[in-house]
Chain A
Amino acid sequence: MDSMLLDIEKLNVTIDTAAGPLKAVQNVSLRVAKGETFCIVGESGCGKSITALSLMGLMPKRAKRRAERMMFDGTDMTTLGESGMRRLRGNRISMIFQEPMTSLNPVFTIGQQLTDVMRAHSRVSLAEARERAAFLLNKVGITNARERLGQFPHELSGGLRQRVMIAMALMCSPDLMIADEPTTALDVTIQAELLRLLRDLQQEFEMGLVLITHDLGIVSRIADRIAVMYAGQIVEDGTADEIFGNPLHPYTQGLIACIPSPDHPRMQHLPSIPGTVPPLIGGLKGCHFRERCPYAMPSCMEEIELKGHEAAHRYRCILPAQTSAAHAKMAQGEQVHA
């Protein structure tokens, strides 16, 4: 248990809206070990990003966070005030975001923004901080690192800006990096490069990595463990091998069926799960996936708990594992014939 870097138990985030409280995150528990890559997957609007932001204590103003336990490397984050959290952020836990074009401050140089991060957390001279910044820009694959320090964000492409963000997140050698859809806004070739870069850096810096994405294709290349989120809840979690080899929740099965596979590279339409994520205002009863689930039945109206073995594989569905697995096989068969 002490090897756990992040240990979150029953995290709830509620946002006050004009239409009533919105339960964006419901009883989410997750554990990330040191050096592990943990992926949170789901469509947009599932509560992935808000989960990540609330781990950092950066929820929107009207959001309230409640959790039974929020431990980071032995520290109870619920007892840390804003100043304690600030000292963790960017220092031991850092975060990168989806929008490389707007995530850097347009009026300060790259060098200034990178060195500021380091100087916010340790007493280093400007020269040392610049040294570190140049070293990291180099590490993330940016050439002419020293000249780049004097440039402004608008002088760089989206891909380069995201690399700068990664370098910024590494300034203080964090133990954990949270990456929220880090490659979604970029084009495909750059996506692959950046993903490889993140994986390499993670190994080199021995960081835990929490990667948030809607793209199971990415997850299959990088994840050690996976949590699938749907409408504010974790519907399935476990090791990557288990989730991909033996998906048990109909939602996960649907997502996997939607991965464009190399065998059929260009299908006419990418298959997708019909329907959309239900609105979370007021709170949903029973299985949240009910309206889109092909196997839904009356008993799915009951409250359903995660079942299975915590460390290996859990899922939130009333179907017995065997039935579910058989569905998955059938669905795969269908796809091959499609």
Chain B
Amino acid sequence: MLQYTLRRLASAVILMLFVSFVAFALVFTAGDPAASIAGEGGTAADAERIRSVYGFDRPLVLQYASWLGRVLQGDLGQSIYFNQPVTSILIERFQATMLLGVLALCFALLLAIPLGIAAGRWPNSIVDRVALLFAVVGQAMPTFWFALLLIILFSVTFPILPTSGGETWRHMILPTIVLGYFAAPAIMRLTRSGMIAALETDFIRTARAMGIPSSKILSSYALRNALLPVVSLAAAQFGFMLAGSVVVESVFAIHGAGRLVWESILRSDLPTIQALVLCFSMFYVVLTLVADIINAWLDPRIRDA
């Protein structure tokens, strides 16, 4: 297990370096960075000055090395729009996004996994039908529409929850439901099919023939096998919830990272965009790593492969 973890960690670091280079190079794909920082009214002399201040005139590898050095020290540059260090902006924004993402993931898992288990245990039963309906609705409904629906229901018709903002836990309830509900159907369907497949295996027949109680068969013998693919899916979903929560953050007026991406693109705030790309891709790398390690912990065959 330790060996697997170390090996996986090493490849993650290599991947991170590669990704960071891509994020770094992003600045240059968008045209001459000095010119874009200088803005529309900037002269050639301005651009030249910026070029030497920012070090754009040095060889690319050197620029990357010094950039990476700064990033590792937590310096992601200066936001052009806010005129503040990008790092402090990101920390503030990611707090909200992370909180929302984690809550939504928990909500999705708590909803989807028990439902998936029940649906897989009793396929074609009432439970299964209800679960299917829930999944179809969840996948078909546009997020913004569902969000507005909940706002109308819980903030307007029955004013028990706030409509927008992210200040208290009560502000987080509706966004969590919207974001989580969006991720739940896929997890539920995968749990269900994993459960059905697992319950038909020879080793479950063995467990039954040995008199293992059915509650244990369901919750441990079958579930552990059924969850293997779910872990990877949940990790991908989580990544998506972090990066793709623009709609939810906008509807509920949460100042999160998802919205920052959108805003920064509109403002062509290049350092901020670059930092966001870097952060989100790092998240994906870390999430995949975590998912792989959880899977290896769940399934010994992966460890030895």
Which B residues lie within 8 Å of A168 (CB)? 206, 210
Query: Which candidate, A13-21, A99-107, A131-139, is the interface stretch facing chain B?
Result: A99-107
- Interface presence of B211 (CB below 8 A): yes
User: B206 contacts which of A82, A91, A104, A152 (Cβ < 8 Å)?
Assistant: A104
The answer for the CA separation of A103 and B202 in the assembled complex, in Å, is: 5
Which A residues lie within 8 Å of B211 (CB)? 86-91, 117, 120-121
Interface bits B205-229 vs A (CB < 8 Å: 1, else 0)? 1111111111010000100110000
Please determine whether A107 and B300 come into contact, CB atoms closer than 8 angstroms.
yes
Which residues of A103-158 are within 8 A (CB) of B?
103-109, 116-117, 120-121, 152, 154-155
The answer for the CA separation of A90 and B201 in the assembled complex, in Å, is: 18
Which A residues lie within 8 Å of B207 (CB)? 105
The answer for the CA separation of A165 and B221 in the assembled complex, in Å, is: 16
- Interface presence of B173 (CB below 8 A): no
The answer for the CA separation of A203 and B263 in the assembled complex, in Å, is: 80
The answer for the CA separation of A58 and B214 in the assembled complex, in Å, is: 12
What interface size band does chain B fall in?
A: 20 to 34
Which B residues lie within 8 Å of A165 (CB)? 206
Given contacts A120-B216, A152-B301, contact A104 B203 (CB under 8 A): yes
Please determine whether A120 and B210 come into contact, CB atoms closer than 8 angstroms.
yes
- Interface presence of B167 (CB below 8 A): no
- Expressed in whole angstroms, the minimum distance between the Cβ of B36 and any Cβ of chain A is 53
Which A residues lie within 8 Å of B300 (CB)? 106-107, 109, 152, 154
Which A residues lie within 8 Å of B57 (CB)? none
- Interface presence of B299 (CB below 8 A): yes
Given contacts A107-B225, A107-B300, contact A102 B212 (CB under 8 A): no
Please determine whether A105 and B221 come into contact, CB atoms closer than 8 angstroms.
yes
Q: Residue on A with the closest CB to B227?
A: A107
Please determine whether B210 and A90 come into contact, CB atoms closer than 8 angstroms.
yes
User: A99 contacts which of B202, B208, B216, B299 (Cβ < 8 Å)?
Assistant: B202
The answer for the CA separation of A90 and B299 in the assembled complex, in Å, is: 25
Which A residues lie within 8 Å of B214 (CB)? 82, 86
The answer for the CA separation of A83 and B214 in the assembled complex, in Å, is: 9
The answer for the CA separation of A107 and B226 in the assembled complex, in Å, is: 11
Which residues of A151-172 are within 8 A (CB) of B?
152, 154-155, 165, 168-169, 171
Please determine whether A90 and B205 come into contact, CB atoms closer than 8 angstroms.
no
The answer for the CA separation of A99 and B214 in the assembled complex, in Å, is: 22
User: Most B CB atoms within 10 A — which of A95, A97, A107?
Assistant: A107
Apart from A106-B203, A155-B304, A168-B210, what are 9 other A-B pairs with CB-CB below 8 Å?
A56-B209, A58-B209, A86-B214, A90-B210, A102-B202, A107-B298, A107-B299, A108-B221, A120-B211
Q: List 27 A-B contacts (CB under 8 A).
A: A58-B205, A58-B208, A86-B214, A88-B211, A89-B209, A89-B210, A89-B211, A90-B210, A94-B210, A97-B205, A99-B202, A102-B201, A102-B203, A103-B206, A104-B206, A106-B225, A106-B300, A107-B299, A116-B216, A117-B212, A120-B211, A120-B213, A120-B216, A121-B211, A152-B301, A154-B300, A165-B206
Q: Which residues from chain A sit less than 8 Å from chain B, CB to CB? A: 56, 58, 82, 86-91, 94-95, 97, 99, 102-109, 116-117, 120-121, 152, 154-155, 165, 168-169, 171
